[in-house]
Amino acid sequence: MRTSLVTGSVLLALVGSSAARPADTPPLPERLADTGGGSQLITAEAPGTGSTTGTVSWWNLQSGRWVRAGSAPARFGAKGLTEGDTRVQGTNTTPTGLYDLPYAFGVEAVPAGTRFPYRRAGDRSWWCQDEAARAYNRWVEPLPADCGAGESEHLVAYSKQYARALVIGFNYDRPVRGRGAGIFLHVNGSGATAGCVSVPAPSMDRILAWADPARRPHIAIGTHSGTTAITRY
């Protein structure tokens, strides 16, 4: 009888402990306000707005649940992160928000398995960041007369960072002049970025092999908490 009482007490204690344990935290995409409506998502999360490092993860929606397919250490702007809707060009900040991914590009050849439209950068390839130019925040070949070279990026000059990259659709569809241009997910350079998100080269290749435009992937960029929390987007 004593053995039964002890066993019963232990079982009750275990049940009570299990009931008191908080439920598992849902995967990050399930806590976002919006994921873009597709079945793939990239999240780029930093501890706070002053952070220059964090984590990039990529996710698949499977049977109604988001499952992480991979993750990598990330770098952000040298001046941290800021709200994308009010960002100012030239501030070296990474814009927070939820964005589409128009296409991939690179100085190097398209990696095997890439399904995204991929544009190879050459000597004539520039990203126009001149606020006065008609092609503001666009790839141009060659550099137009109204787009100053000093206000733009000659893509092949960044052969390490732009070896392979994805265009982030920040300020892209209807560009607001002065908001910012040339925001990409690209390969790490020597340190923090000028406003992009970067990851190690092998991780960039894995992301390109994973990303499927038919599944409409987006990227959510934000902080762990606060007014720029990634869960707001």
pLDDT score at 198: 99
The number of beta carbons lying within 10 Å of the beta carbon of residue 229 is: 16
- Characterize 153-190 residue by residue with b for buried, 16 or more Cβ atoms within 10 angstroms of its Cβ, and e for exposed: bebeebeebbbbbbbbbbbeeebeeebbbbbbbbbbee
pLDDT score at 20: 43
Single-letter code of the amino acid located at 69: A
The sign of the torsion formed by the CA atoms of 177, 180, 186, 188 equals positive
pLDDT score at 156: 98
Q: Does residue 109 contact residue 94 with C-beta atoms inside 8 Å?
A: no
pLDDT score at 23: 59
Residues in Cβ contact with 196 at an 8 Å cutoff, skipping those fewer than 6 apart: 77, 94, 161, 168, 182, 183, 184, 185, 186
Q: Does residue 44 contact residue 197 with C-beta atoms inside 8 Å?
A: yes
Residue 1: burial class (beta carbons within 10 Å; 0-12, 13-18, 19+)? exposed
What's the pTM? 0.89
Asked whether the bond before 142 is cis by omega within 30 degrees of 0, the reply is: yes
pLDDT score at 24: 83
Per-block average pLDDT, block size 10, for the chain (233 residues)?
40 42 81 98 98 98 97 98 98 98 98 96 98 98 97 98 98 98 98 98 98 98 98 97
Residue 92: burial class (beta carbons within 10 Å; 0-12, 13-18, 19+)? middle
| Cα angle: 75, vertex 79, 150; to 5 degrees | 95
